[in-house]
Structure 1
């Protein structure tokens, strides 16, 4: 499939992004997670559809509904809220007894002297001092240990030009022919890019650091805070770790291979134990243009990552995004970026020891021996799950001693075996097949081509691994696998059990003896997602899950202070499921295991991102991304004008803050 876009392309950036993640560029013969799950549960005599059949019965007959009600009465859930009704409309909805307020919107001020948002007269200079577009990951770093005052750190993943710019995208009629029959089809046609529009897009990417505080129960930004900062595609950054100085990251602008301008496509991320902000670079390939010759020495490496993707026309005006002019520039993206939010003048660092992939996030936990373990998913069909273990130990008494922990350690890739074990395979040059004979001349090569290193090590090909979240309360690790409609019947395995897996599933890893640095773990399937009323889907929610409680396409997740799992989704559209994305509370223990309840749902066209609780569990932050992006949506005619609902005001990605009415802990 040709996924490269042009300025006149009829597909939106959201469409192209989803298609890219659906490509599956892993041509290795490694077993897939579906193969492994199939072998494991076949041997155990597990009836894949048994729970699904029970849940189906619970949705189609009055007697079964009564039985399901009795099952719910006997089930002890960790969650006590009244469930939201699933559906689709222009609004957001939260469980009864809770407030869901808009905290920050695209274009809002980040500094006291930031210009007001004027959607009809946008400029790059204004956007550089305003809240960016498509907020994704959210982190909260308390100030002085407070859960009511802290630094909010937010990623801005990508831009939807058709929803951002007035008089740019139009709805046109295209004549299509199939089997000799012609028909008129309406589509959104993108406009022509200019340097000015591209400058706005660039400044809308990156991240925001902003102080927020809670007064009289309501949260608001502190615009005159010295901590506030915007990070963009032009922010100077340092390459650190084993790749720094490699010939493969040297460019005309940076002959040292140590200095990079900016970060982009920052999806999920993380906050380290020492209070720094991690920005994961995901679909970096989409920003590069140019033609790559088959005999180009980097052609195979480019192909493994989908470079050049051609989603944006930045290369037309900026040579560094044209691979024919700067062939090494793509190697300078796809990393985890570390930012010190307590120093607005500090230089962010791209920590190359964590490997170069399409990082969904980088969530961490302090191991019992003091080392810090980071979990990462590579978000594409048939790609891998990773974890990085620092060489040094975390020093809680000396923050400065931790500031370079991410430059030394061991990156591992996961192999899920049918006997229920996980082998974490080290990506270390000179070990096993990671040698010069196999095209890895040094550790820099291994990390730049972390995907290929995983290929030759025999890692398990997964169904789009996104967030990977360790639970400090239980020692479990949860892997969100969004979906994989490209998996065929002969590609299923123990850990990826379904062909044409449209709804995804969640893997639960148990680290051996609570040792998160262990190289051998065990795993199980927590949930196979989808509508349990459709037998072919094979969903495995608990029968206590209601018709509102099931979900598909798990994406981001959060663990609250009680160790409870919350899952946000990406892909539950009106067209696909008749419901929007949202946030679900999922029981993981006891007789309620596998029970799910809908807590919050987004407006039409939006994706649910960034669930994050304050340490006292009294505040929940949520990121609503690309609202209104449904059907023939443009600036002039979005599917919703959420959150402002004002004529002439575009739909705006926003951070929502949820609190309990009257105060107290959530759910």
Structure 2
């Protein structure tokens, strides 16, 4: 994510440091063998841009009429009108304007900007950003990201498109905009406690009850018990294999069963049972450890000596802020916060329909830089399957398969507490393997035994205590298993019609010619690509899969070649770079959002729509200056679309508040009230 231009605390490479020094093969040799059979094509701008797959996946263009899949994994209560994936709009040009641009026949409106009061005493937003920390705890947070719309009648099997709960993440903050004059310090280098309280409160998740009025406009349902803020200080339970593990013991929770807050929530995932999973991505930068040596749980994630926002320096020494100093200061972990960072890096389950419920950190899904999670369609009596990317250079893509079967009548978050976590290996012949990260698996156990006493990347490996230790050190376990290092895996999406899984690989300018591999074939990959796969036997729990590259991002003339044919050649209508957000709507159109360069030829960040069968890709939406376009969902009838705009430039969407730009959700509708994209 391009944060460094906005906030000096996000200087690259510290924001997403390269911490995978495992030396995994990266398939250099297999790539060379593969290139003997497939020639890399070059686009008009001279960059090597070819899919080096020897075939297309079976699902592409195939007859899927026999594929009777549930749509529940998308959190949908039902599809919209029709099932065609054709695109029924003319592509719009790139834009450098400080406004949202959409095709003719569509209208947009800014909604729920940062600071909108949604609960409690409903404190009004002040244009000079002088609201207090207590105010911010009752207002929509900052830097909107992933979001989902839950029909208000979801729990009773309904699919209302006129009323529901809009739930969204708030990834991080811009301190300069959050306060009247930016962050301040006293003569002793300490920070005002209320400034810190406000910054913590601006993180997390907002749950907003919204409803159409008699004119068709959306508004907040004020006074609704569903309106809720979950912040960086909300008490949460630890669930799954890491619950009670001694490496999560802190002064706050000596038995390692609780923690406070969720931070750096990027993408998300709606569960089939109607809850919301918020991802904890770049949490490592919130903690300070001045020790000369740090445990592997911190070094493999890039925890440094200083924290991003100096929350541990809040005046008064309140325990809720002291905890961000994870330097050992006492005789035992039960008396300080050396393990506080170990309570972050998970998917956090929030039940929007039960506002009094405590959020749950689901540790069986692994601990890393979660970008989000995407569920495969669920089937009665079969395991729950979900996927998650680790958003950092040279990190991995994971899959979780539950131990217990799914039954709609009883399904809940307990299904995510027991199961097997796998990591992906992409082979040069277009096949792939899911490698189990389980000490009960003989192959993994043998790899662990062989690695003991050796240097794995920057970690001197001395084994794992138990399965909880494996999951606490998910990245290290994946290194040992032999996973494929990827070009920043971000959002995933599952095609509701074919079951194929898509993931954005945003970019990786650090990859050298010696480090390219079959799934990431470009050195200095500055524009990214989208990969997809089909599970073996159309079984989401399978241990193998077949993959190809859906599209390479880039300038005009960038080609994606499949089986010797040009499948996509980008034009003015669809050039893009750094694909990030990804979502299938309920009719099967694929929506692609970008977070990359806003320089020519791409201009402002954008959202495109794609027909997954034909690879027809068209630009649909361009955001205002300086922003990231991130987070997209529609109502079940696909007639209202919600798109989040993060860190916009000055003067959008409210010109008189330009010194304190406000992230906002954009509502997109068709003027004729038809289906979006059709």
Instruction: Please tell me the TM-score bracket, short chain as reference.
Output: 0.7 to 0.9
Counterpart residue number, 1:471? 495
In structure 2, C-alpha distance between the alignment counterparts of 1:115 and 1:101, rounded to whole Å: 23
In structure 1, C-alpha distance between the alignment counterparts of 2:523 and 2:444, rounded to whole Å: 30
Q: Which one of the candidate residues 83, 86, 97 is aligned to 1:89? A: 97
Distance 1:643 1:501, change over 3 A: same
Distance 1:109 1:409, change over 3 A: same
| Contact preservation (8 Å) 1:280, 1:359 | yes
Distance 1:541 1:350, change over 3 A: farther
Question: SS in structure 2 opposite 1:93?
Answer: coil
How far 1:265 moved relative to its partner? 0.4
- Does residue 117 (structure 1) correspond to residue 90 (structure 2)? The answer is no
| Contact preservation (8 Å) 2:375, 2:386 | yes
Question: SS in structure 2 opposite 1:447?
Answer: helix
How far 1:292 moved relative to its partner? 2.6
Structure 1's unaligned 5+ residue stretches are 57-75, 171-190, 629-639
In structure 1, C-alpha distance between the alignment counterparts of 2:375 and 2:560, rounded to whole Å: 37
Once superposed, what is the RMSD of the aligned Cα atoms?
2.8
- Does residue 206 (structure 1) correspond to residue 215 (structure 2)? The answer is no
How far 1:543 moved relative to its partner? 5.8
Counterpart residue number, 1:461? 485
Distance 1:40 1:607, change over 3 A: farther
- Does residue 384 (structure 1) correspond to residue 399 (structure 2)? The answer is no
In structure 1, C-alpha distance between the alignment counterparts of 2:127 and 2:476, rounded to whole Å: 44
Distance 1:577 1:250, change over 3 A: farther
Counterpart residue number, 1:143? 152
In structure 2, C-alpha distance between the alignment counterparts of 1:44 and 1:147, rounded to whole Å: 51
Q: Which one of the candidate residues 122, 126, 130 is aligned to 2:139? A: 130
- Cα deviations by residue, 1:629-649 (Å, 9 ceiling, x for unpaired): xxxxxxxxxxx2101111566
- Cα deviations by residue, 1:394-424 (Å, 9 ceiling, x for unpaired): 22223xx423111111111000000111101
Distance 1:46 1:212, change over 3 A: farther
Counterpart residue number, 1:98? 106
In structure 2, C-alpha distance between the alignment counterparts of 1:114 and 1:40, rounded to whole Å: 63
| Contact preservation (8 Å) 2:560, 2:567 | no
- Kindly report which structure 2 residues correspond to 1:289-304, keeping only aligned pairs within 5 A, or say none: 289-294=288-293, 296=294, 298=295, 300-304=296-300
In structure 2, C-alpha distance between the alignment counterparts of 1:486 and 1:15, rounded to whole Å: 21
| Contact preservation (8 Å) 2:496, 2:586 | no
Structure 2's unaligned 5+ residue stretches are 50-83, 315-320, 329-336, 453-461
How far 1:30 moved relative to its partner? 1.1
- Does residue 373 (structure 1) correspond to residue 385 (structure 2)? The answer is yes
Relative to the length of structure 2, the TM-score reads: 0.83
How far 1:370 moved relative to its partner? 2.7
In structure 1, C-alpha distance between the alignment counterparts of 2:204 and 2:238, rounded to whole Å: 17
Question: SS in structure 1 opposite 2:112?
Answer: strand
Q: Which one of the candidate residues 615, 631, 648 is aligned to 2:636? A: 615
How far 1:617 moved relative to its partner? 1.2
Distance 1:383 1:118, change over 3 A: same
In structure 2, C-alpha distance between the alignment counterparts of 1:383 and 1:17, rounded to whole Å: 20
Question: SS in structure 1 opposite 2:297?
Answer: helix
Q: Which one of the candidate residues 557, 560, 574 is aligned to 1:549? A: 574
| Contact preservation (8 Å) 1:53, 1:535 | no
Q: How many residues get paired?
A: 598
- Cα deviations by residue, 1:458-506 (Å, 9 ceiling, x for unpaired): 0000000001211221111001000000000111110000000000111
Write 1 or 2 for the structure with the bigger share of helix. 1
Distance 1:258 1:334, change over 3 A: same
Counterpart residue number, 1:160? 174
In structure 2, C-alpha distance between the alignment counterparts of 1:217 and 1:19, rounded to whole Å: 46
Q: Which one of the candidate residues 412, 416, 419 is aligned to 2:426? A: 416
- Kindly report which structure 2 residues correspond to 1:601-612, keeping only aligned pairs within 5 A, or say none: 601-612=622-633
Counterpart residue number, 1:284? 283
Question: SS in structure 1 opposite 2:471?
Answer: helix
Q: Which one of the candidate residues 486, 491, 500 is aligned to 2:510? A: 486
How far 1:193 moved relative to its partner? 4.3
- Cα deviations by residue, 1:577-627 (Å, 9 ceiling, x for unpaired): 55111111123213xx2x321111111110011011222211111110011
In structure 1, C-alpha distance between the alignment counterparts of 2:10 and 2:401, rounded to whole Å: 34
| Contact preservation (8 Å) 1:545, 1:597 | no
Counterpart residue number, 2:35? 42
- Does residue 313 (structure 1) correspond to residue 310 (structure 2)? The answer is yes
Counterpart residue number, 1:510? 534
In structure 1, C-alpha distance between the alignment counterparts of 2:231 and 2:522, rounded to whole Å: 40
| Contact preservation (8 Å) 1:237, 1:347 | yes
